[in-house]
Amino acid sequence: MKVRNPLALLAFGLAFSVAVVAATYIFAAQKATSDIREASERQLQIIALDLGSVLDKFETLPYALGFQSDVVQALTRPDDQAIIQRLNQTLQLIQRQSKVVAIYMLDRKGTTLASSNWDTPTSFVGRDFGFRPYFSEAVKGNAGRFYGIGNATNIPGYFIAQPIYASASARDNGAPLGVMVVKIDLTEFEHTWSSSEDPITLSDHSGVVFLSNRPAWKYRSLYPLNGEIQLDLAGTHQYADQPITPVASLPKHLRVGFGDHVTRTIGRLGWQLMLFPSQARIARVAMLWALAAALLLAIAGISLWALYQRRRRLEERLTSAEYLDRTIAQRTQELMVANHTLEAKYAKLKETEHLLRSTQNELIQAGKLTMLGQMAAGVAHELAQPLAAIRAFADNAITFLGRQQADKTAENLTHISNASARMGKIIGQLNSFSRNSYDTVAVIDLQKSIEAAALLMRNEFQTHGASLHIDIRQAAHVVGDAVRTEQVLINLLRNALDAVDNAQQKNVWLTLEKEAGEAVIRIRDSGAGIPAQVALHLFEPFFTTKPSGKGLGLGLAISSSIVQAMNGRLQANNHGDGGAEFVLCLPLLAQS
Ligand code: ADP
């Protein structure tokens, strides 16, 4: 899913959600309306059955009472107080038993002769109810039924009236003697309905509400009454002469729910039982559904959004991974090219170095050849003396041999041997000087070289009563020929020993340390130091201040050439505290 325009999608999602929520609301409202209507119908049916059964229950009571023996007697002899009194008591007894409001008997003119409430302040006895419709109907021989507010008691009730005849036979053709009336209380129903949230009304055929769980609606009409009805109501005092105004004229909060309704006709007077389903309930149910829909949509929306974000992150990660791969590939390519270039340069460098080295070697060799010229004189001088001595000793040996003096002969031969040994030594030194510099190249641990040189020199130092002080401050490794390095150190130590030989203090100090990428060996002595004119020729071959036979003047020259071959330096100077100091610097091994 590639979202081009998230804002447009959001707007679409919002519009869609609003549409869905609105549709849900409308649909739920319709469904709730029909559901609630159906439930209301059922509720109304139950109420109607309940109400109908109560009305029917007492329907026959006045009729049956008409057969009481005292009834007819009382009607025929209304002045007989004993009969009236007896009837009063009978009616009262039955009234209490049957739990009706009142039972009373009217004569043919509508005057009450006997009543169950004869002993109360609101007694009906003597009262005229001739104006009541139930009486006029009953006196005609029909059953009379009526609902109204009691004229004497002000208590509303349902009146059922039956004509009373002198005998069963008179019932068919004679006029009634009087009328028996039963008054029933229906207000109990109001209490039952009060638990209902919806307004419930029972109204008469004129549309006047006389029972309701909405007290404000009572004795008000569901629609405006015309003059004729109003006149009729006034005539019958049905609702105690109070003016009947429509429910619609009530303040708004008192007629809440007045509108759509379900209705049912009940009883024999064409009463209308009505239930007004609460619009607020419908709205509530619809709102609940709409809310549920909104919630679902919100969850779906959030889930989709989370999914989208996750996808986007994955894509981003993928893109960045691709980018990384590409960059790495590119860098690798660049590195490979650089590596090739480097390799080519390195090869070239190697070639140049090789050229340089061979040139250097050639130069060194050439230098040596030059020196050879100088050497020839020295060598001739050095060798001539022992050679002349050998000849003289040989001549002597021949002479002593002729005289058969074996001991003298042997003495001269020993001199010859010594002289030739000395010659051999000179030649040996020359040999080592002419040898090529690159014999064995290895990593040299300078500490070990120093220790080896010191070991070899130990005897000589002891013989001369001199002390050698070695101070290895730092270990150091260099590249070169180990044997030759030792040779250099031995040369320098021997020179130092020679220098201190005539001194009072015979000390030689050797230190090793690292300085600026170099291994530095300092050999200092407590000798007389190097005179200025000597310093100028110090490293020249065959330059020596030592007596003939003691020094050849090759030590420093050879040492210097060895050190140079290792790319190092050999320097000499006089130390501030007296004595000479030779400083040997060699480049350190890369990782040492
Ligand atoms: P040789 O030792 O055979 O003379 P070298 O080349 O080793 O040859 O030394 C050359 C000269 O340098 C020595 O004759 C000496 O005069 C001088 N020299 C060398 N070492 C010292 C030293 N430690 N003190 C004073 N002079 C020195």
Q: What are 282-334's pLDDT values in tens digits?
A: 888 899 999 999 999 999 989 988 998 999 899 988 888 888 888 888 888 88
Which residue in this structure is represented by tokens 């020196």? 371
- What backbone phi and psi angles, to 5 degrees, belong to 523? -120, 110
Write down the pLDDT at residue 591.
62
Nearest alpha carbon, ligand 1 atom 16: 545
CATH code of the domain made up of 340-436? 1.10.287
Nearest alpha carbon, ligand 1 atom 2: 551
Residue bearing the bigger pLDDT, 541 or 12: 12
DSSP string over 139-172: HTTS-EEEEEE-TTT--EEEEEEEEE-SSTTHHH
Taking the C-alpha atoms of residue 407 and residue 171, their distance in angstroms, rounded to an integer, is 204
Three-state SS annotation for 362-407: HHHHHHHHHHHHHHHHHHHHHHHHHHHHHHHHHHHHHHHHHCCCHH
pLDDT of 579 > 60? The answer is yes
Atom in ligand 1 nearest the alpha carbon of residue 495: 20
pLDDT of 128 > 90? The answer is yes
Helix H segments across 78-149?
A: 81-98, 133-139
Atom in ligand 1 nearest the alpha carbon of residue 541: 6
pLDDT of 241 > 80? The answer is no
Among 61-65, 298-302, 424-428, 578-582, which is the least confidently predicted range?
424-428
Does residue 499 line the site of ligand 1, with CB under 6 A? yes
Determine the number of helices (DSSP H) and then strands (DSSP E) in the chain: 14, 18
Does residue 495 line the site of ligand 1, with CB under 6 A? yes
Identify which of 501, 556, 571 to mutate to test ligand 1's pocket (most ligand atoms within 8 A of the CB).
556
Does residue 525 line the site of ligand 1, with CB under 6 A? yes
Residue bearing the bigger pLDDT, 354 or 380: 354
Sign for the CA dihedral angle at 23, 24, 30, 33 comes to negative
Per-residue pLDDT, averaged over 500-518, amounts to 94
How far, in Å, from the CA of 500 to the mean position of ligand 1?
12
Write down the pLDDT at residue 152.
78
pLDDT of 433 > 60? The answer is no
Does residue 579 line the site of ligand 1, with CB under 6 A? no
Identify which of 374, 495, 570 to mutate to test ligand 1's pocket (most ligand atoms within 8 A of the CB).
495
How far, in Å, from the CA of 517 to the mean position of ligand 1?
29
Region(s) of the chain under CATH 3.30.565.10: 440-592
The CATH H-level (homologous superfamily) assignment of domain 189-275 is PAS domain (3.30.450.20)
Does residue 211 line the site of ligand 1, with CB under 6 A? no
By the 8 A CB rule, do 511 and 474 touch? Answer: no
pLDDT of 473 > 90? The answer is yes
pLDDT of 367 > 60? The answer is no
Does residue 570 line the site of ligand 1, with CB under 6 A? no
Pairing assessment for the beta strands 245-246 and 220-221 based on DSSP bridges: parallel
What is the band of 13 on the pLDDT scale with cuts at 50, 70, 90?
A: confident
Crossing angle of the two packed helices 482-500 and 555-565, in degrees rounded to 10: 150
Which residue in this structure is represented by tokens 């061979």? 358
Nearest alpha carbon, ligand 1 atom 26: 530
Write down the pLDDT at residue 424.
82
What is the band of 154 on the pLDDT scale with cuts at 50, 70, 90?
A: confident
pTM across the whole model: 0.48
Does residue 492 line the site of ligand 1, with CB under 6 A? no
What is the band of 49 on the pLDDT scale with cuts at 50, 70, 90?
A: very high
CATH code of the domain made up of 440-592? 3.30.565.10
Give the range with max mean pLDDT: 105-114, 435-444, 533-542. Answer: 105-114
pLDDT of 174 > 80? The answer is no
How far, in Å, from the CA of 551 to the mean position of ligand 1?
8
Percent of the chain with pLDDT over 90: 44
Domain 61-185 has CATH 3.40.50.280: no
How far, in Å, from the CA of 535 to the mean position of ligand 1?
9
Does residue 553 line the site of ligand 1, with CB under 6 A? yes
By the 8 A CB rule, do 262 and 278 touch? Answer: no
pLDDT of 206 > 60? The answer is yes
Does residue 580 line the site of ligand 1, with CB under 6 A? yes
- Token couple for 376: 């020839």
pLDDT of 349 > 60? The answer is yes
Region(s) of the chain under CATH 3.30.450.20: 61-185, 189-275
What is the band of 378 on the pLDDT scale with cuts at 50, 70, 90?
A: low
How far, in Å, from the CA of 559 to the mean position of ligand 1?
12
- Cα radius of gyration rounded to whole Å, the chain: 74
Pairing assessment for the beta strands 144-149 and 156-164 based on DSSP bridges: antiparallel
Beta bridge mates, 245 = 220
Atom in ligand 1 nearest the alpha carbon of residue 525: 23
pLDDT in tens, 540-568: 877 889 886 677 788 898 899 889 989 99
Would you call 232 helix, strand, or coil by DSSP? helix
Write down the pLDDT at residue 372.
61
Write down the pLDDT at residue 435.
54
How far, in Å, from the CA of 143 to the mean position of ligand 1?
167
Taking the C-alpha atoms of residue 49 and residue 72, their distance in angstroms, rounded to an integer, is 35
Nearest alpha carbon, ligand 1 atom 19: 495
Taking the C-alpha atoms of residue 366 and residue 581, their distance in angstroms, rounded to an integer, is 30
Does residue 544 line the site of ligand 1, with CB under 6 A? yes
Write down the pLDDT at residue 3.
58
Atom in ligand 1 nearest the alpha carbon of residue 579: 24
By the 8 A CB rule, do 106 and 181 touch? Answer: yes
Beta bridge mates, 105 = 114, 180
The distance from CA 185 to its chain's CA centroid, rounded to whole angstroms, is 72
pLDDT of 515 > 90? The answer is yes
Atom in ligand 1 nearest the alpha carbon of residue 523: 23
Pairing assessment for the beta strands 200-203 and 209-212 based on DSSP bridges: antiparallel
Write down the pLDDT at residue 474.
94
How far, CA to CA in Å, does 31 sit from each of 24, 26, 164, 259, 344?
A: 10, 9, 55, 18, 89
Per-residue pLDDT, averaged over 12-34, amounts to 91
Among 81-85, 287-291, 433-437, which is the least confidently predicted range?
433-437
How far, CA to CA in Å, does 96 sit from each of 91, 92, 354?
A: 9, 6, 143
By the 8 A CB rule, do 512 and 525 touch? Answer: no
pLDDT in tens, 384-397: 777 888 888 888 88
What is the band of 20 on the pLDDT scale with cuts at 50, 70, 90?
A: very high
Nearest alpha carbon, ligand 1 atom 4: 544
Contacts 24+ apart (CB under 8 A), 136-145: 137/161, 138/162, 138/163, 138/176, 138/179, 138/181, 139/108, 139/110, 139/163, 139/176, 139/179, 141/175, 141/176, 143/59, 143/63, 144/179, 144/181, 145/267, 145/268, 145/269
Does residue 95 line the site of ligand 1, with CB under 6 A? no
How far, in Å, from the CA of 555 to the mean position of ligand 1?
8
Average confidence score pLDDT of the chain? 87
Pairing assessment for the beta strands 467-472 and 507-515 based on DSSP bridges: parallel
Write down the pLDDT at residue 499.
95
What is the band of 162 on the pLDDT scale with cuts at 50, 70, 90?
A: very high
Nearest to 211 by CA among 298, 141, 269, 274: 274
Residue bearing the bigger pLDDT, 495 or 540: 495
By the 8 A CB rule, do 256 and 168 touch? Answer: no
